[in-house]
């Protein structure tokens, strides 16, 4: 090496653009460590924030030095040392023929050797593509087989080429970068810009200076100008919120461009001419909280004022920097010579005496300041001469006693007058008083199963003082008291039977401490929504699904918002519909586009292989798409092969980079539904459907692929499809895909067909004998009813099979049911949402379990919370979201928020990732916008014993339903019995009436015979002939 100090070396040119590093943190201080993959890292990124760089030339035989360096690596790395390892296996001593040897060994062998070495080292490595001879030549070194360690500063200055000796002298790295390492001692830390601005304080000019003008700047633009670093106020950010920097500079060109773009909406528009006349490129903005020039922001509108203010600011900045550096110099000087000075100073002999203090007159330290402030605040000074008044008193009154009733000659009374405008300030004091000194556990009688207080008993000793002397002489007083208050107490007890059962006595306690969410607003945070002018403008987001195993990708289908007449005209005509794949990385355009021949009304990912997407079309057919990892956002798209995938199916490739995917297969239109497919439900993998749907059995393995799925449509048919048979021939052009079984749902009373909206398969259902029922399902109708059916039902000889086993008509609204979902915590409980209310159904009950109160705004969708058992999210026609929390109240929504600006058309939760840490809700609206809502923590984390309380609530409601069913049956039986008794009584009365009529005729005959006999006797006595 030359004797003169060499010129600094460019580290970027010396080491190359990239370095090799272990996939685990290369800066970690691990000794040895597990072998892991080796990848590339940018050199600039790897050396960022480092104070020095060590270039280590070694071979596989340099294990001893490598172990020594690894032991001290943690201390050296914390002090800012980065090490780059140069693998020299195969290099000839003296550096001759090293590259030829490496070339003969092959690049793969060199790479493998470096990867094997770096897997055991916590530092970086030089790629084999960078010739080591050039590195040695740049450092003016030769490699003779022994390990070399060269330490350079980040500026490229060589500190030492004998790093091996430096490590031997300082194995713990305590002296680095000084001592044997050859580095300069670390200087004081540089003062940051924000620290300078904080010490600088206000730089507002004095009133009356020339070249300054006030301007109003909206607080939303403070971040753009540079007055604050963050719009929201934060304790971690020094200048945030309304805490502004003393000054900021803005480019004149940026202001002129903003005025041209925004016009009068720009803050700079009122002074546009002044900005155009300004001669310099930079404009100085000054923060003036006192508003000396009319506004909080002042700007220099002349070159002279700009130079004058900037000179003053720079002088104050330099003074702050000099004072900061001087403080470190004083500390350093004190450390160097402080001990000697302390030794030279003589010891001071201090004597303390306790003597009394001499009293002195009191002197106010703030009196003069107060007088000055009063004088400053006096707006109008007295300009009139002072009035002289003499107050006299007769001599005879001297020393005479005086009363308050005595009045002077000129005494005037000021009578009070009523001022209607006077409004004294009112203060409220909330004070809680506990009447009972000690608490007691008492039993309360309640009606039904609701917590209504009926009566409460207390022990008399709770209200009486223990120390009071209650003798027999006070019994009369107590009796008189009880007699006086007995009427009022009895009336209070009677009125207490009718109370508001929904009143929460402690609802407002502790709300200030809770603070996370209010009682009326949930504070949902929305991501930037997804919307595309070409594909979604004016359309309705019909269905939304999250990409499996991804919380950053979401899929949505769009349908036209057409009335029935226009839709009828367009029926039968060819059209193109799209299913859009959105990525959180780009909200302006879709990531991928799935093309369909008809509108996609519902779609779901195949659970066994997420690359397949099954969609139900508006004409009743089913379509299947096969997606790649690039289409789903799992990997980077290959630009060379994207053209072939986009042009599949005869479609022309768009000019944009968005991939277009055509469907792989379509079901036979003659064998599909006659109306739009509205529901898809997958059957468990263990179930095997028998031929023609006569039954089902669990023959397949539980860990195998799902084979069958159900579909439902408005034509009232439920179809079973075999997806495995489709996968076997998915690439065949003449494949005829048809359902393996279908059933038609008809009404039991009229025999008309039902229109279906949703379908749920009953996974775990058993009959009375304990046999598992595998063919049962629940479905919702277009009239709001819930249907329980069996697709394997068999008919009699002269009767059709009764697929519909039970029909729940309590939710009938003559409008389609909008949602039907199973609870993730209670598999037997289902949520059904209609226009006016939502219902909770339980499998096995003959009636609904719970019905909400009617709402003034239509419901459009409903979903269960994935982590809270008692929370339900309901979408509204107005665009809002009502959140029902049964752990809080069950008669109305607990919280509400805004999900969209128009009617909500679809809602679904993301069920991937850590749901207890973050939850996302996808909300589609009727105008083609897809909103992603972040759920707050209070709606994610369940409260204490929430699952148990919700189970008790459902059990209580189930008990109520069963009670009413039994009571209704008892009343029906009682009605039948009473009707029978009434009929029997009527029959008995009719019989008695007939018998009474017969008896009356007999009595008439007897009376007639008696009369005839009497007549004969009278005629005989009077001598009247009997024939007359």
Q: Rounded CA gap, 128 and 20, in Å?
A: 9
- Bigger pLDDT: 425 or 513? 425
Assign 754 to helix, strand or coil.
coil
pLDDT in tens, 761-805: 988 888 888 888 888 999 999 988 999 998 888 877 667 788 888
Q: How many Å apart are CA 287 and CA 217, to the nearest integer?
A: 11
**Residue reference for tokens 């479609």:** 651
**Residue 479, CA distances (Å) to 463, 467, 473 in order:** 16, 21, 11
Per-residue model confidence (pLDDT) at position 382:
66
pLDDT for 278 equals 92
Q: In whole angstroms, how far apart are CA 698 and each of 613, 692, 765, 954, 960? A: 26, 17, 13, 31, 36
Closest among 55, 64, 39, 51 to 87, alpha carbons compared: 55
Strand partners, 711: 680, 719
Sheet holding 756-761, edge to edge: 756-761, 776-781, 786-790, 804-808
Task: For residue 613, give both structure tokens.
Answer: 């997407």
pLDDT confidence of residue 975: 92
Token reading at 819: 């949602």
CA distance linking residue 612 with residue 928, whole number of Å: 25
pLDDT digits (tens, 9 = 90+) for 623-645: 999 998 888 887 776 544 444 44
Report the run of H or E that residue 86 belongs to, with start and end. strand 81-87
- 733-773 per-position pLDDT tens digit: 888 899 999 998 888 777 788 889 999 998 888 888 888 88
Least confident of 110-119, 378-387, 431-440, 547-556: 431-440
Which two tokens mark 942?
Answer: 């369940």
**Local structure of 924: helix, strand or coil:** strand
Per the prediction, the chain carries an average pLDDT of 80
Q: Which H helix or E strand runs over 962?
A: helix 946-1022
Looking at 478-492, 529-543, 578-592, 653-667, which range is the least confident one? 653-667
**Cα distance between residue 964 and residue 970, in whole Å:** 10
CA atoms within 13 A on the CB side of 615: 33
Phi/psi for 380 (5° steps) reads: -110, 120
> pLDDT tens digits for 393-447?
787 778 777 776 665 555 666 777 776 666 666 667 777 766 655 666 766 655 5
Q: Which of 529, 530, 531, 557 lies closest to 542 in space, CA to CA?
A: 557
Q: Which residues of 298-312 are buried (b: 16+ CB within 10 A; e: fewer)?
A: bbbbbeebbebbbee
Q: pLDDT tens-digit profile of 970-1014?
A: 999 999 999 999 999 888 888 877 777 777 888 888 888 898 888
User: For residue range 878-931, what is the model confidence (pLDDT) as tens digits?
Assistant: 889 999 999 888 888 888 888 788 899 999 999 888 888 889 999 999 988 999
Beta strands at 124-125 and 81-87: parallel, antiparallel or unpaired = parallel
Higher pLDDT, 104 or 148: 148
């Amino acid at each position: 090496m030359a004797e003169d100090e060499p010129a600094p070396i460019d580290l970027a040119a010396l080491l190359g653009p990239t370095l090799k590093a272990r996939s685990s943190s290369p800066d970690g201080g691990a000794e040895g460590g597990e072998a892991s993959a080796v990848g590339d890292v940018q050199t600039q990124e790897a050396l960022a924030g480092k104070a020095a760089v060590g270039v280590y030339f070694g071979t596989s035989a340099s294990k001893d030095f490598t172990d020594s360096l690894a032991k001290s690596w943690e201390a050296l790395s914390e002090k800012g040392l980065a090490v780059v390892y140069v693998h020299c296996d195969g290099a000839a001593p003296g550096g001759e023929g090293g590259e030829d040897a490496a070339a003969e060994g092959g690049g793969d062998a060199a790479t493998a050797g470096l990867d094997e070495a770096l897997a055991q080292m916590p530092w970086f490595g030089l790629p084999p593509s960078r010739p080591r001879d050039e590195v040695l030549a740049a450092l003016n070194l030769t490699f003779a087989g022994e390990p070399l360690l060269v330490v350079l500063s980040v500026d490229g200055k060589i500190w030492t080429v004998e790093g091996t000796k430096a490590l031997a002298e300082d194995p713990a790295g305590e002296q680095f970068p000084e001592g044997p390492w050859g580095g300069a001692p670390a200087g004081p830390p540089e003062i940051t810009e924000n620290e300078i601005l904080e010490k600088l304080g206000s730089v507002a000019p004095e009133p009356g200076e020339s070249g300054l003008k006030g301007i109003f700047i909206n607080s939303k633009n403070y971040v753009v100008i540079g007055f604050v670093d963050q719009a929201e106020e934060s304790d971690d950010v020094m200048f945030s919120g309304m805490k502004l920097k003393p000054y900021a500079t803005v480019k004149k060109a940026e202001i002129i461009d903003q005025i041209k773009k925004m016009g009068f909406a720009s803050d700079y528009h009122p002074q546009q001419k002044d900005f155009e006349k300004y001669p310099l490129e930079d404009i100085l903005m000054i923060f003036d909280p006192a508003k000396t020039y009319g506004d909080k922001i002042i700007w220099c509108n002349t070159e002279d004022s700009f130079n004058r203010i900037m000179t003053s600011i720079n002088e104050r900045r330099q003074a702050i920097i000099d004072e900061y550096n001087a403080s470190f110099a004083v500390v350093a000087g004190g450390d160097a010579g402080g001990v000697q000075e302390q030794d030279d100073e003589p010891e001071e002999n201090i004597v303390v005496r306790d003597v009394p203090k001499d009293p002195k007159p009191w002197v106010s330290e703030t009196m003069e300041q107060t007088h000055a402030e009063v004088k400053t605040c006096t707006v109008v000074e007295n300009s009139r001469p002072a009035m002289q008044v003499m107050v006299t008193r007769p001599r005879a009154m001297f020393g005479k006693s005086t009363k308050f009733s005595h009045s002077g000659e000129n005494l005037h009374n000021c009578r009070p007058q009523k001022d209607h405008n006077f409004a004294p300030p009112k203060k409220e004091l909330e004070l809680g008083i506990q009447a009972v000194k000690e608490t007691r556990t008492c039993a309360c009688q309640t009606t039904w199963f609701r917590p209504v207080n009926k009566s409460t008993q207390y022990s008399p000793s709770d209200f009486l003082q223990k120390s009071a002397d209650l003798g027999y002489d006070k019994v009369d007083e107590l009796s008189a008291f009880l007699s006086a208050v007995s009427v009022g107490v009895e009336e209070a007890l009677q009125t207490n039977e009718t109370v508001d059962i929904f009143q929460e006595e402690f609802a407002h306690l502790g709300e200030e401490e809770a603070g996370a969410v209010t009682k009326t607003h949930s504070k949902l945070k929305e991501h930037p929504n997804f919307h595309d002018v070409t594909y979604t403008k004016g359309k309705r987001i019909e269905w939304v699904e999250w990409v499996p195993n991804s919380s950053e990708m979401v899929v949505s289908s769009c349908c036209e918002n057409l009335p029935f007449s226009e839709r009828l005209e367009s029926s039968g005509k060819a059209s193109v519909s799209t299913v859009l794949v959105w990525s959180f990385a780009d909200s302006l355009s879709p990531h991928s586009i799935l093309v369909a021949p008809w509108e996609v009304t519902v779609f779901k990912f195949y659970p066994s292989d997420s690359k397949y997407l099954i969609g139900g079309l508006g004409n009743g057919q089913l379509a299947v798409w096969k997606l790649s990892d690039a289409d789903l956002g799992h990997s980077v798209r290959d630009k060379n092969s994207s053209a072939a995938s986009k042009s599949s199916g005869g479609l022309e490739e768009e000019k944009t980079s968005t991939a277009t995917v055509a469907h792989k297969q379509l079901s036979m239109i003659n064998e599909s539904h006659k109306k739009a497919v509205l529901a898809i439900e997958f059957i468990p993998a263990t179930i095997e459907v028998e031929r023609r749907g006569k039954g089902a059995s669990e023959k397949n393995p539980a860990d195998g692929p799902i084979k069958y799925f159900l579909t439902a449509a408005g034509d009232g048919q439920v179809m079973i499809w075999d997806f495995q048979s489709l996968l076997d021939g998915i690439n065949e052009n003449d494949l005829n895909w048809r359902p393996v079984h279908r059933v038609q749902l008809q009404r039991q009373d009229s025999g008309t067909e039902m229109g279906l909206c949703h379908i749920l398969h009953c996974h775990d259902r058993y009959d009375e004998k304990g046999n598992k029922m595998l063919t049962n399902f629940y479905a919702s109708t277009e009239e709001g009813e819930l249907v329980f059916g069996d697709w394997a039902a068999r008919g009699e000889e002269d009767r059709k099979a009764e697929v519909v086993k039970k029909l729940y008509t309590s939710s009938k609204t003559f409008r389609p049911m909008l949602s039907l979902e199973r609870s993730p915590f209670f598999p037997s409980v289902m949520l059904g949402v209609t226009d006016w209310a939502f219902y909770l159904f339980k499998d096995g009950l003959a009636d609904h379990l719970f019905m909400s109160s009617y709402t003034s705004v239509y419901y459009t969708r409903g979903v269960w919370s994935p982590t809270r058992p008692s929370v339900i999210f309901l979408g509204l026609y107005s665009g809002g979201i009502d959140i029902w929390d049964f752990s809080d109240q069950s008669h109305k929504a607990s919280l509400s928020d805004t999900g969209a600006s128009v009617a909500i058309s679809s809602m679904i939760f993301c069920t991937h990732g850590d749901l207890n840490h973050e939850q996302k809700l996808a909300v589609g609206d009727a105008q083609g916008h897809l909103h992603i809502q972040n759920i707050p923590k209070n709606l994610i984390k369940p409260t204490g014993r929430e699952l148990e309380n919700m189970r008790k609530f459902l059990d209580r409601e189930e008990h109520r339903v069963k009670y009413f069913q039994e009571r209704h049956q008892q009343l029906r039986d009682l009605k039948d019995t009473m009707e029978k008794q009434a009929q029997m009584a009527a029959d008995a009365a009719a019989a008695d009436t007939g018998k009474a009529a017969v008896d009356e005729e007999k009595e008439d005959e007897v009376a007639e015979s008696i009369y005839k006999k009497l007549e004969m006797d009278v005629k005989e006595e009077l001598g009247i002939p009997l024939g007359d």
